[in-house]
Amino acid sequence: MKAEIHGGATILEPRPNLTPPRSWRRWLIGNPLPTADAPHQTIGKAVGLAVFASDALSSTAYATQEIMVILAAAGTGAFSYVFPISLAIVALMLIVTFSYEQTVHAYPSGGGAYIVARDNLGELPALAAGAALLTDYVLTVAVSVSSGVSQVTSAFPSLYSQRVWIAVALVGLIMLINLRGVKESGITFAIPTYFFVVSMFLTVGIGLLRYFTGSLGMVPNPPVLDLDTLAVVTPFLILHAFSSGTSALTGIEAISNGITAFKEPRSRNAGITLLWMSGILATLFLGISFLSGKIGAIPSERETIISQLARTVFDGTGPLYLAVIAGTSIILILAANTAFADFPRLSAILASDRFLPRQFTFRGSRLVYSRGIVALAGLASGLIILFHASVTRLIPLYAIGVFLSFTLSQAGMAHRWWKSGHVRPGGEKVEAGSVVHYDPKWAMKMIINGFGALCTLVVMFVFAATKFKDGAYIIIVLIPLVVLTFYTIHRHYRRLADKLSLEHFSSPRRITRHRVIVAIAGVHRGSLEALNYARSLSDDVTAIHVSIDPAESQKVREKWSSYGDGIRLVILDSPYRLLVEPIMEYLDNIIAKRQPTEMITVVVPQFVTNHWWENLLHNQSALLLRFALLFKPGVVIVEVPYQI
Amino acid sequence: MKAEIHGGATILEPRPNLTPPRSWRRWLIGNPLPTADAPHQTIGKAVGLAVFASDALSSTAYATQEIMVILAAAGTGAFSYVFPISLAIVALMLIVTFSYEQTVHAYPSGGGAYIVARDNLGELPALAAGAALLTDYVLTVAVSVSSGVSQVTSAFPSLYSQRVWIAVALVGLIMLINLRGVKESGITFAIPTYFFVVSMFLTVGIGLLRYFTGSLGMVPNPPVLDLDTLAVVTPFLILHAFSSGTSALTGIEAISNGITAFKEPRSRNAGITLLWMSGILATLFLGISFLSGKIGAIPSERETIISQLARTVFDGTGPLYLAVIAGTSIILILAANTAFADFPRLSAILASDRFLPRQFTFRGSRLVYSRGIVALAGLASGLIILFHASVTRLIPLYAIGVFLSFTLSQAGMAHRWWKSGHVRPGGEKVEAGSVVHYDPKWAMKMIINGFGALCTLVVMFVFAATKFKDGAYIIIVLIPLVVLTFYTIHRHYRRLADKLSLEHFSSPRRITRHRVIVAIAGVHRGSLEALNYARSLSDDVTAIHVSIDPAESQKVREKWSSYGDGIRLVILDSPYRLLVEPIMEYLDNIIAKRQPTEMITVVVPQFVTNHWWENLLHNQSALLLRFALLFKPGVVIVEVPYQI
């Protein structure tokens, strides 16, 4: 141990090998990392695309299918609407992209919806955005993993009945990987992401080529569409299908959260990456939607649209087909992994703002926010089990939170531009801890962000209305409840801080007198040790014994006369065989009579057994007594352990 | 509060209304009873028969059926063996009865197998008997309740699919009734027991009358016997069926446990009651077995033999049929209730002999051994769920424990008579705490008990061999494990007693110096209160702070210079963000250097929140630290609560 004197305090450095002892945990999670090891490295555009795009790009795996699921109610004829609806979604995507491109430049240190809303709109909108994002991350994991598993079961139908447990096991695996800590960079992300992009471009490219040369056939043995009654195509149905398709936009905000990870000039690099990502996403999504209609694909829980498309384009389930399935499954898993980076980070920010339990700010042995990771895995697994790993049943819960956070983030940006138009040119203004500079193009920028906010707001309402009874109502109820929980937690911490505050604090009154009470169950070495300690604290010592069994109490009295050394023994009669209550009643009497500078100390002898199971052989009265005494103001608890 | 000085100690009587506060519990269980209320009343032979016979008599509800289930393997022709097998079982029953009749006279204060074996055979046989009896009681509850439910589902077949939950709910109900406390006497037992006896005698009597007058037909629509292959009748099959039938003997020992409940001359009264009980049991069992063969009853999980017999004798499912079903179901429930009296009593005896956790000796708010009652209900419910409330599947586990306890008890008695033949006439001999008088008829009595022991020993081996793979192996493995557990528990308590013993005890060395360490997470009112307390204990106070977050530690250091009042602050660096380990390492250093009469006290400030959920917002480091510190010899823990 090395000691160092520093600013009045002694600082002790521990032995270098002082690490947590639990070895099974270390085997699972890895050796603990010291705080000083926190890594910081930056990445270029190509790797940045791989790291941040998986969530957005992976939505191409299910967005088209979810549009078709809704239209299927009106029969296969309605599938002609898939492509026009997809075009509308891409238009929305471009609006949101340009809007976020501005955020990337305005918030070079990372502009998630929570931070943007907090800086520019205030606490309530920020918390609403936070609640929306947290729910959204949980759903990203549930939807992505469920969709990934459904790709696999499309290729291997015999696994279909096990899909829920496969999905839960995958969530567990991703959790473990994240508890070990992943470096958000490099080859781990780049290879699968680009593998997916290449294989999908190949599928869509060859598909289009074969379509325009007339050699693309229909899906062989498509899944059966089981339909009891045939609905007609109404505007509501179209809007409903559009809402489902907006799941294609999820994940588009990821880059704006992670700008700090980019090489300088980071805003510029991040902005370009965002544009590239949107371009790829739009192209693939439109291509898949277009081809799905042409080949007569049928949406089904049993076989995904991607699977049907790939086996039609590649004439069967050969290596190219398997490559597409593998690529799609893996990118979906990576998308879930993105949420495992974002959820813990956001919950740590919320916790350090005192809206979530502070445990979320602690870094685990591998320097990651372990509690957030475990919480996310637990919540997502719960959802997967509850919704039987069905993407179609999860989707109605999904996009509403995404669009709420889009709206709040863009509205916040719009408000920011308005403010920056009202700072004198060249100057700056600090508001709510955030610095706003004058921007000559503020009006244009405000219009772009404002228009984005308006569009996403409208989409959110369309989504909520069309999908209300499919499950959107759950989120509409949940988000306000989460916000309420944030406030409740905040109030607790604020009250605590007030109570602990040293403002107007005068030193506590010097304790001049100790009154010590020793609670004994029997007269033995353990209780005499406790008595000895008690006598070293004060001359005013009383032993108390609760009489439950008269024979036992008689023995205590007899032994006390030999070993009690003249100390007063009070026997508390307990006709109802209660232990804690008579002690509390006795203490109440003493507390009522105590002097202002007198301190009451209760000494409790405590056996310590060698093996945990031996505790089952004792009735833990010391522990019970401790919990009861904690709630008595003005009483200090002393535990004298007696190791056996 | 009333105070009284008594033999050097002050005895305080609490306010009369000092009772447990939890009202839902009180509503369920009843108002608590003071210890002084423990009832003691004695009963006559007629009521005694009702109280103690329910277990034994209730076995007529399933014994015949279980013989038939085994014979069914060789087809309905094999049912001609039912009556001869029943005769053999009744012969065994009479041997056991006469053997126990002698126990009743030799042990007027209650001679359960555990006590008889402990007095006369030694510790190991006594523990084997104890283990056998405890398993037996659990099985009595499982078998009786399952059989009771199967009577009900025979009358109301639509309940068949819910039988497991009905059985578990019944066990829960019996548990609640016993937690409230039942008076082991009077009308509660007498009415249903005599109702059962009368209705069964009526069934058997009318059945025999109709049979001998030739008016008794066959069972209308008997259950179907589904049989894949037809076995032949072998001696093994006969012995197997005999073993199943021995379940008729279970409960016959009940009176020997409860002799103290009888009016004086209690041994004589108990003995006569035992003979009466055996007579009724033998008559009913033989009658049911005889008639079952004559009416062509078929054993089935769906309809019991009792149900088939009753609807044949009474020509349909009219009021008399329902009376028999009701009577049988209720006596089976009462039989389970008997186990709820015996299991807690025996586990309390074992616990006071230090072979079970001492918690089993505590009387609950209603003066009953609540822990034993809850343990029995839990174990029996587990068995019912595991074996789907099937009597046939439970029976192979059942009688082996019963016969082991019979054998040990009677062997113990035989040994006792041998000893009483070797005391000089008129004299007495004390061995293992038990007084043995000379008895002139010792040889005859020894032969009766010895023969009983031999018979039940042989039956036990037959049972174990024929039913080994049906489930008897579970008990053969379990009983030694339970005995081993008894010994392990005993060793723990003995070691504990040694460690606590005041023999060779010299007063602990006077503590001359206190070294006090205050563990602080931050500088606030809570930690300053703790510091104030620490300073009142000693002049040698050191504050320690574990540095996990450097920014936080910096704040602690700064605030300490204003509020620390010159007390030394040690910052423990924790690169792996561990809290407890650095403190332990620091204490190890201090302990290594301490003087013999120096005491190390660790003061921990502890927040106390108003609501339980608020604890989720704190990371319970005080509690963690407490558990770790308990295991450090020579360190005392002081918790200074700070109520918020």
pLDDT digits (tens, 9 = 90+) for A354-390: 999 988 888 877 778 889 999 999 999 999 999 999 9
Query: For testing the chain A interface, which of B636, B643, B644 should be mutated: the one with the most A CBs within 10 Å?
Result: B636
* Rg of chain B, C-alpha, whole Å: 32
CB contact under 8 A, B577 and A523: no
Sequence-separated (6 or more) residues with CB below 8 Å from residue A114 = A126, A129, A130, A133, A346, A349, A350
Chain B residue numbers touching A547 (CB-CB < 8 A): 11
Residue A60's H or E segment, with its range, is: none
Which tokens is A510 given?
Answer: 């010097």
A8, A523, A533 member nearest B636 (Cβ): A533
How far is C-alpha B531 from the geometric centre of its chain's CA atoms? 50
Size of chain A, expressed as the number of residues it contains: 644
| CA separation for the pair B331, B400 (Å, rounded) | 23
What is the value of pTM for the model shown? 0.76
Of A246, A271, A278, A232, which Cα lies nearest the Cα of A74?
A: A232
CB contact under 8 A, A581 and B20: yes
CA distance B133 to chain A (A): 21
Which tokens is B370 given?
Answer: 């609540």
Q: What is the three-class DSSP state of B224?
A: coil
pLDDT-based confidence at B1, cuts 50/70/90?
Answer: very low
CB contact under 8 A, B496 and A577: no
Nearest CA in chain A to B504: A525
Q: What is the three-class DSSP state of B514?
A: strand
B20, B536, B640 member nearest A578 (Cβ): B20
Size of chain B, expressed as the number of residues it contains: 644
CB contact under 8 A, B501 and A493: no
Q: Are A530 and B596 in contact (CB under 8 A)?
A: no
Which tokens is A290 given?
Answer: 């277009």
Residue type, A11: I
| CA separation for the pair A67, A508 (Å, rounded) | 68
Q: Are B501 and A524 in contact (CB under 8 A)?
A: yes
* Counts for chain A of helices (H) and strands (E), in that order: 21, 9
CA distance B118 to chain A (A): 23
CB contact under 8 A, A528 and B514: no
Asked if the model's pLDDT at residue A73 lies above 70, the reply is yes
Q: Which residues partner with A607 through β-bridges?
A: A642
A550, A577, A616 member nearest B363 (Cβ): A577
Q: Crossing angle of helices A63-71/A305-313, nearest 10°? A: 110
DSSP line for B425-481: TT-EEEETTEEEE--TTHHHHHHHHHHHHHHHHHHHHHHHHHTIIIIIHHHHHHHHH
CA distance B547 to chain A (A): 9
Chain A residue numbers touching B29 (CB-CB < 8 A): none
Query: For testing the chain A interface, which of B492, B552, B576, B620 should be mutated: the one with the most A CBs within 10 Å?
Result: B576
Of A486, A492, A497, A257, which Cα lies nearest the Cα of A350?
A: A486
A to B CB pairs, distance under 8 Å: 274
What is the model's pLDDT at position B89? Answer: 95
Asked if the model's pLDDT at residue B17 lies above 80, the reply is no
Nearest CA in chain A to B7: A557
CB contact under 8 A, B510 and A532: yes
Asked if the model's pLDDT at residue B506 lies above 80, the reply is no
What is the model's pLDDT at position B483? Answer: 96
Residue B11's H or E segment, with its range, is: strand B9-13
pLDDT-based confidence at B5, cuts 50/70/90?
Answer: low
B21, B582, B614 member nearest A14 (Cβ): B582
Q: Give the best-scoring range by mean pLDDT among A427-441, B246-260, B369-383, B566-580.
A: B369-383
CB contact under 8 A, B571 and A19: no
Beta-strand runs (E) in A355-461? 428-431, 434-437
| CA separation for the pair A306, A200 (Å, rounded) | 9
Beta-strand runs (E) in B555-627? 568-573, 598-608
What is the model's pLDDT at position A57? Answer: 92
Asked if the model's pLDDT at residue B184 lies above 90, the reply is no
Residue at token pair 């031999």 = B454
Instruction: Find the mean pLDDT for residues B505-528.
Output: 85
Instruction: Find the mean pLDDT for residues A95-103.
Output: 90
CA distance B436 to chain A (A): 28
Asked if the model's pLDDT at residue A1 lies above 50, the reply is no
Which tokens is A483 given?
Answer: 């916000």
Nearest CA in chain A to B495: A644
Asked if the model's pLDDT at residue B561 lies above 60, the reply is yes
pLDDT tens by residue, B35-86: 766 656 677 888 888 878 888 999 999 999 999 999 998 888 899 999 999 9
| CA separation for the pair B218, B308 (Å, rounded) | 10
CA atoms within 13 A on the CB side of B351: 20
Which tokens is B564 given?
Answer: 């620390």
Which tokens is A341 given?
Answer: 């980076």
Nearest CA in chain B to A610: B631
CB contact under 8 A, A557 and B522: no
pLDDT-based confidence at B237, cuts 50/70/90?
Answer: very high
Which tokens is B380 given?
Answer: 């029996």
Q: Are A310 and A325 in contact (CB under 8 A)?
A: yes
| CA separation for the pair B107, B114 (Å, rounded) | 12
Q: Are A334 and A192 in contact (CB under 8 A)?
A: yes
Of B7, B295, B279, B304, which Cα lies nearest the Cα of B148?
A: B304
CA distance A46 to chain B (A): 34
A310 vs A302, which has greater pLDDT?
A: A310
Instruction: Find the mean pLDDT for residues B435-455.
Output: 88
> By CB neighbour count within 10 A (0-12 exposed, 13-18 middle, 19+ buried), where does A38 fall?
exposed
What is the model's pLDDT at position A433? Answer: 63
Which tokens is B372 given?
Answer: 């034993």
Q: Are B250 and B136 in contact (CB under 8 A)?
A: yes
Which tokens is B116 given?
Answer: 């008889």
CA distance B19 to chain A (A): 7
pLDDT-based confidence at A13, cuts 50/70/90?
Answer: low
Query: For testing the chain A interface, which of B571, B587, B631, B642 should be mutated: the one with the most A CBs within 10 Å?
Result: B571
* Strands A635-643 and A541-547, bridge-based pairing: unpaired
Tell me the domains of chain B and their CATH numbers. Answer: 48-221+229-490 (1.20.1740.10), 513-643 (3.40.50.620)
A553 vs A290, which has greater pLDDT?
A: A290
Asked if the model's pLDDT at residue A435 lies above 80, the reply is no
DSSP line for B177-209: HHHH---SSSHHHHHHHHHHHHHHHHHHHHHHH
Q: Crossing angle of helices A113-120/A123-155, nearest 10°? A: 170
CB contact under 8 A, B633 and A643: yes
Residue type, A181: G
Residue at token pair 């000559």 = A440
Asked if the model's pLDDT at residue B210 lies above 50, the reply is yes
pLDDT-based confidence at A110, cuts 50/70/90?
Answer: confident
pLDDT tens by residue, B113-171: 898 999 899 999 999 999 999 999 999 999 999 999 999 999 898 888 889 999 999 99
Q: Are A529 and A555 in contact (CB under 8 A)?
A: no
Chain B residue numbers touching A532 (CB-CB < 8 A): 507-508, 510-511
Residue A603's H or E segment, with its range, is: strand A598-608
| CA separation for the pair A401, A129 (Å, rounded) | 8
Instruction: Find the mean pLDDT for residues A557-563.
Output: 89
| H-helix segments, A121-234 | 123-155, 163-180, 187-212
Q: Give the best-scoring range by mean pLDDT among A427-436, B501-510, B542-551.
A: B542-551
Asked if the model's pLDDT at residue A91 lies above 90, the reply is yes
What is the model's pLDDT at position B37? Answer: 66
B505, B629, B640 member nearest A525 (Cβ): B505
ipTM: 0.78
pLDDT tens by residue, B458-505: 999 999 999 998 889 999 999 999 999 999 999 988 988 888 888 777
DSSP state of B262: B
pLDDT tens by residue, A517-540: 999 988 888 889 899 999 998 999
CA pseudo-torsion sign B530, B534, B535, B541: negative
* Rg of chain A, C-alpha, whole Å: 32
Exposure string of A239-271, with b = 16+ CB inside 10 Å and e = fewer, is: bbbbbbbbbbbbbbbbbbbbbebbeeebbebbb
Task: Please state, rounded to an integer, the average pLDDT across all residues of chain A.
Answer: 87
What is the model's pLDDT at position A421? Answer: 82
Of A594, A583, A514, which Cα lies nearest the Cα of A544?
A: A583
Q: What is the three-class DSSP state of A368?
A: coil
CA distance B252 to chain A (A): 33
Peptide bond into A125 cis (omega under 30): no
| CA separation for the pair A500, A492 (Å, rounded) | 12
Task: Please state, rounded to an integer, the average pLDDT across all residues of chain B.
Answer: 86
Query: For testing the chain B interface, which of A578, A632, A635, A636 should be mutated: the one with the most B CBs within 10 Å?
Result: A636
